[in-house]
Amino acid sequence: MRTQVAIIGAGPAGLLLSHLLHLRGITSVVLESRDRAYAEGRVRAGVLEQGTVDTLVAAGVGDRMLREGMPHHGIELRYGGRGHRIAFEELVPGRAITVYGQQEVVKDLIAARLRDGGDVRFEVTDAAVHDAATDRPYVTFGGERLDCDFVAGCDGFHGVTRPSIPAGVLSEHRRDYPFAWLGVLARVKPSSEELIYARTDRGFALHSMRSPEISRFYLQVAPDEDIANWPDDRVWAELRTRLETVPDFELATGPILDKSVTPMRAYVAEPMRYGRLFLAGDAAHIVPPTGAKGLNLAVADVRLLTDALARWYATGSADLLDSYSEACLKRVWSAQHFSWWMTTLLHTFDTDDPYGRRLQLAHLDQVTSSRAAATTLAENYVGLPFDSSGSTGTSSGTRSSVMPK
């Protein structure tokens, strides 16, 4: 078999890359180790930046998102017995976030690829990348061989593409936080129209949602927390304690559909390229989920990679391929900083450090009382605009050249 771009991983990054390349007349094959039901059902991120929304709409895969997604024009920071709204419509006019689950984005992209005759293969075994440092890379899987011009590693943090890069090529930056998130999905109407980020002396809590009928909650817990220690009654009791801290707020409860514990960590591998193997999304970087940047960074990577590959096929120029890693990492490190900032702003670190707690509260007071500080939060939360190369920029344009000419 032969294709122009072999894509390993059928998450949002891999599927969107395949779709955008198709719009530019470039062929691809997507290889995924999991089955389709798993890919379409795994509940993960749900906050889409303005630029991500605009990208999906411009690519023709945003119709259901526009119908069913929930646009939000602010978030609430809750601490010290009061709630403080960060109003996007006032601070960053015309920009917002949309709550729409990652699994829904995946469903839309799979449907689009299959509708357009795309080659997406699930339950692939033993995928491996070969000769990435040459101009004739190929991928083997399940006893088959796929020759290609380029390989895109979109297979997540635990995938096979990044480990296929020889030792010593990548610089790897890591940070592990001294806590984890207990995530809860419940069949209950959200108790708030917008996300609530709550800082308490007992730890952080987040009230989010996935639909008008499904709510998503997170609790800061110990990094080695055993999910068995959290029966439903304890989960709801702790959520009430951390969220019912302002007058007249009552947390609605209902059947819990899913519970899991996620470590809080950060990771960046650089460069995001080895020869003709290009990494995108979680294969190259992960962020703590406090800033809601993971999926959105993957979309930003894919925009840049699409433009770079399209330039190469159209003109033979490798200039955008050569600058891909640097351009991606500019935005990646900006998102790493914002995610670290949000995490340190809202979580309990050392309960025996009253000095640190007072500094944290002073910082929260500044964010909620200073328009300049609140604007910085809002700008980063809704997503920094893309410049003409798709990287972090200051212009207001959101449509990039990843769309067909």
* Higher per-residue pLDDT: 295 or 396: 295
Tell me: pLDDT of 379 over 90: yes
pLDDT of residue 404: 41
- Using CA atoms of 84, 73, 15, 265 in order, give the dihedral in degrees to the nearest 10: -10
pLDDT of residue 396: 35
pLDDT of residue 60: 97
d(Cα 273, Cα 118) in Å, to the nearest integer?
Answer: 25
Given the candidates 3.50.50.60, 3.20.20.70, 1.10.10.10, 3.40.80.10, the CATH classification of the domain at 5-73+95-174+266-347 is 3.50.50.60
Tell me: pLDDT of 369 over 90: yes
Lowest average pLDDT, out of 27-41, 342-356, 358-372, goes to 342-356
Tell me: pLDDT of 98 over 80: yes
| Pairing mode of beta strands 47-48, 97-99 | antiparallel
Mean pLDDT for all residues in the chain:
93
What confidence category does residue 41 fall into, taking pLDDT thresholds of 50, 70 and 90?
confident
pLDDT of residue 353: 86
CA distances from 204 to 181, 379, 392 (A): 9, 22, 29
d(Cα 56, Cα 167) in Å, to the nearest integer?
Answer: 36
pLDDT of residue 392: 41
pLDDT of residue 395: 34
Region 126-152: mean pLDDT is 97
CA distances from 239 to 82, 199, 200, 294, 384 (A): 16, 12, 11, 25, 32
Return the structure tokens found at 191: 């108790």
d(Cα 100, Cα 57) in Å, to the nearest integer?
Answer: 13
CA distances from 172 to 154, 165, 282, 318, 331 (A): 17, 12, 13, 25, 17
What confidence category does residue 143 fall into, taking pLDDT thresholds of 50, 70 and 90?
very high
Region 23-28: mean pLDDT is 98
Task: Supply angle C-alpha 319, 389, 60, rounded to 5.
Answer: 115
Return the structure tokens found at 2: 């032969």
| Pairing mode of beta strands 205-209, 215-221 | antiparallel
Tell me: pLDDT of 393 over 60: no
Task: Supply angle C-alpha 155, 300, 327, rounded to 5.
Answer: 100
Return the structure tokens found at 253: 């409860």
d(Cα 184, Cα 207) in Å, to the nearest integer?
Answer: 10
pLDDT of residue 350: 77
> Domain-by-domain residue ranges, the chain?
5-73+95-174+266-347
| Under 8 Å between Cβ of 181 and 34 | no
Other beta carbons within 10 angstroms of residue 179's beta carbon come to 21
Which sign, positive or negative, has the C-alpha torsion 127, 131, 266, 300? negative
What confidence category does residue 235 fall into, taking pLDDT thresholds of 50, 70 and 90?
very high
Percentage above 70 pLDDT, the chain: 95
Region 61-78: mean pLDDT is 97
Region 242-252: mean pLDDT is 97
Per-residue pLDDT reduced to its tens digit, 170-213: 999 999 999 999 999 999 999 999 999 999 999 999 999 988 99
pLDDT of residue 23: 98
pTM of the model: 0.93
Q: Which of 162, 194, 217 is nearest to 71 (CA)?
A: 194
| Under 8 Å between Cβ of 216 and 262 | no
| Under 8 Å between Cβ of 130 and 137 | yes
Region 27-34: mean pLDDT is 97
Q: Which residues contact 159 (CB under 8 A, 6 or more apart)?
A: 8, 9, 153, 283
d(Cα 378, Cα 383) in Å, to the nearest integer?
Answer: 8
Task: Supply angle C-alpha 265, 266, 267, rounded to 5.
Answer: 130
pLDDT of residue 327: 97
CA distances from 89 to 263, 355, 375 (A): 33, 35, 11
Residues with catalytic roles: 72, 197, 289, 293, 381
Which sign, positive or negative, has the C-alpha torsion 386, 388, 391, 392? negative
Return the structure tokens found at 271: 């460069």
What is the maximal distance between C-alpha atoms in the chain?
Answer: 65
Length of the chain: 405
pLDDT of residue 317: 97
What confidence category does residue 386 fall into, taking pLDDT thresholds of 50, 70 and 90?
confident
Return the structure tokens found at 303: 């925009």
pLDDT of residue 46: 87
Tell me: pLDDT of 325 over 80: yes
What confidence category does residue 328 fall into, taking pLDDT thresholds of 50, 70 and 90?
very high
